[in-house]
Amino acid sequence: MFNLNTQLVNELPDGLALAQRGLFYSDALFETIRVFEGKIPFMAAHWARLSNGLRTMRYAIPAHWSAAFFEKEILKTASPNARVRLTAWRSPGGLYLPQNDAPQFLITVAALESGMFEWDSLGIRIGLCESVRLSVDRFSGLKTLNTARYVAAAQEARERVWDDAVILNAYARVCEATGSNVFWFENETLCTPPLADGCVTGVLRELLLSLTLAAGYAVQEKPATFAHLLAADEVFLTNAVRGIRWVREIEGAVFEFAETRKIYELMVEHLSGKMKD
């Protein structure tokens, strides 16, 4: 028997029943993917991260699931420019110990106007999240539905009239923002927290590390305190939907963007090349 918003039912509605493990146990993974002019240039990277997560969480991955399979499913669902969420969860059954490791999936789509990452000329204001810390373990780099801490951080940012919040890990080191990886310039070196400090394995994070190294930048994956960010020359946030967002201010500290703009242009040049493939 179930009580669903005051209505007594003997069985969950079909949709809820199918997603039972995601709803009850957050036993699920997701990818947030951008479609540009009817193409998904980062699909291979998204599938690599998702499939790694599925293996780490001991799902029985269907043989037909692949980057090509999901690209086809997304493109038949999405508009030419879109923000896509691909969620995969374990089939119903069991309590904490599952009875069926086969995954289900859902694709949701929101149309976007632009067919390219855009540069925000104003920059963003961010601050330090005080309410939560992020754990560090072998699941930390995965995009799971266990997002209560990110929700709390986003609510805190809204209350303090910030555009985003930096979240520390359990060891008081910079981890990430609510939906983005963190980068900063320090003495002409491009820095970002190492994966060992618990940040999500961002698709754009990995791309920018590769592009900047190839372009001759000094790059370092470096543990950092919040004080390191305040002392940085420039700070920016990255994810695969919004691209690069440069940080104008962190709790009163003001930053420039000249080097960040160069990284943005490097990224756009790379993306334009992939769109022509």
Domain 2-111, what fold?
D-amino Acid Aminotransferase; Chain A, domain 1 (3.30.470)
User: For the segment 67-91, what is each residue's pLDDT rounded down to a tens digit?
Assistant: 999 999 999 999 999 999 999 999 9
Closest CA to 134 of 171, 182, 179, 183: 171
Q: What is the pTM of this model?
A: 0.95
Q: Where are the beta strands (DSSP E) in the chain?
A: 2-4, 7-9, 28-35, 82-90, 103-111, 124-128, 164-168, 174-177, 181-186, 189-192, 218-221, 234-239, 243-250, 253-254
What pLDDT was estimated at residue 239? Answer: 97
Average pLDDT over every residue of 30-37: 98
Domain 124-276, what fold?
D-amino Acid Aminotransferase; Chain A, domain 2 (3.20.10)
What pLDDT was estimated at residue 70? Answer: 98
What pLDDT was estimated at residue 52? Answer: 98
* Strand, helix or coil for residue 112: coil
Domain-wise residue ranges, the chain:
2-111, 124-276
Closest CA to 31 of 42, 19, 46: 46
Task: Evaluate if residue 1 carries a pLDDT over 80.
Answer: no
Q: What is the mean pLDDT of the chain?
A: 96
Contact 197, 208 (CB under 8 A): no
Task: Evaluate if residue 131 carries a pLDDT over 80.
Answer: yes
